[in-house]
């Protein structure tokens, strides 16, 4: 082999190594990617004041839906129910299938500072009663649909705030359709797949001794 060939081989091997390292996903990256999908419980009630939505405070003091990461061993709906119970003390029923999805962009921690897309699956949750939430400083509060949209937009990027407001609009439309179907004499009652949120069932999937989880907000 000529010297020139040796230098070429060395450069080629180095480039292959760099490409291999670039394609390699570290354990830390895998853990971050695992958190790239979340669930949210869009909690509502229909009372004397009409249709209202339940929002909680984030650690950054923004209003949001109860939400968090997908839990190992739980379906998305079960994980959303757990978030509603822990963050807002919700008892009620939650739909098994997500009615909407939205995206939250979060700045990554790699050297390029790239953004990580966090996809949130939104599940509609009808609240029957509340108790004191397990998590502190969440301040669960009821708002009308219009006021909930204003709260969700406060101090957020316009596009993200608009996405959250659209979730409320879609929830209102879905609830109205369900209400009309349930009270119509010509249409069959809905047969939505739901999960009941009660003390027994939530306790069965709640691990009291688990370490606090880091949440993306």
CATH number at residue 106: 3.90.79.10
* Domains identified in the chain, total number: 1
Q: Is residue 152's pLDDT more than 60?
A: yes
Task: Kindly state the tokens that stand for 118.
Answer: 């966090």
| Each residue's pLDDT tens digit, 81-114 | 999 999 999 999 999 999 999 988 766 555 555 6
* Overall residue count recorded for the chain in this entry: 217
Q: Please report the pLDDT score of residue 112 as a whole number.
A: 55
Q: Is residue 177 situated within a structural domain? A: yes
> What letter does residue 46 receive in the DSSP assignment?
E
Give the structural domain span for 41: 28-205
Dihedral pair phi/psi, residue 43, rounded to 5°: -90, 135
Q: Categorize the per-residue pLDDT at 25 as very low, low, confident or very high, splitting at 50, 70 and 90.
A: very low
Q: Is residue 41 situated within a structural domain? A: yes
Average pLDDT for residues 23-30, to the nearest whole number? 45
Q: Please report the pLDDT score of residue 71 as a whole number.
A: 83
Dump the DSSP string for 95-125: ESS-SEEEEEEEE--STT--EEEEEEEEEEE
Q: Is residue 115 situated within a structural domain? A: yes
Distance in angstroms (rounded) separating the CA atoms of residues 121 and 119: 7
Dihedral pair phi/psi, residue 194, rounded to 5°: -130, 160
The dihedral sign for the CA sequence 165, 170, 172, 173: positive
Q: Is residue 123 situated within a structural domain? A: yes
Distance in angstroms (rounded) separating the CA atoms of residues 173 and 192: 16
> What letter does residue 49 receive in the DSSP assignment?
T
**Region for residue 160 given its phi and psi (left: phi exceeds 0; alpha: psi -120 to 50; beta: otherwise):** alpha
Range list of H helices, 49-198: 76-88, 145-153, 158-182
24 or 169, higher pLDDT: 169
- N-term to C-term CA, the chain: 58
Task: Kindly state the tokens that stand for 212.
Answer: 């606090």
40 or 28, higher pLDDT: 40
Q: Is residue 19 situated within a structural domain? A: no
Q: Is residue 142 situated within a structural domain? A: yes
Q: Is residue 14 situated within a structural domain? A: no
Q: Is residue 181 situated within a structural domain? A: yes
Residue 106: burial class (beta carbons within 10 Å; 0-12, 13-18, 19+): middle
| Each residue's pLDDT tens digit, 176-193 | 998 888 877 665 555 446
- Candidates 37, 58, 39; CA nearest to 151 is 58
Q: Is residue 13's pLDDT more than 70?
A: no
- Candidates 114, 122, 116; CA nearest to 66 is 122
């Amino acid at each position: 082999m000529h010297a020139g060939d040796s230098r070429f081989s060395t450069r080629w091997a180095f480039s292959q190594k760099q490409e291999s390292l670039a394609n390699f996903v570290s354990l830390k990256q895998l853990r971050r990617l695992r958190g790239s999908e979340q669930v949210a419980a869009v909690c509502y009630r229909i009372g004397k004041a009409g249709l209202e939505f339940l929002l909680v405070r984030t650690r950054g003091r923004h209003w949001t839906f109860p939400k968090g990461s997908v839990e190992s061993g739980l379906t998305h709906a079960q994980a959303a129910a757990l978030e509603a119970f822990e963050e807002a003390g919700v008892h009620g029923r939650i739909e098994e299938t997500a009615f909407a999805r939205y995206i939250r962009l979060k700045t990554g921690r790699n050297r390029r500072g790239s953004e990580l897309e966090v996809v949130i699956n939104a599940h509609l949750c009808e609240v029957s009663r509340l108790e004191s939430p397990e998590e502190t400083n969440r301040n669960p509060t009821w708002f009308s649909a219009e006021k909930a949209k204003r709260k969700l937009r406060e101090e957020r990027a316009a596009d993200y705030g608009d996405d959250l407001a659209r979730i409320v609009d879609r929830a209102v439309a879905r609830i109205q359709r369900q209400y009309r179907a349930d009270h119509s004499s010509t249409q069959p009652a809905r047969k939505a797949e739901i999960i009941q949120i009660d003390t027994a069932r939530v306790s069965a999937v709640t691990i009291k001794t688990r370490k606090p989880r880091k949440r993306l907000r």
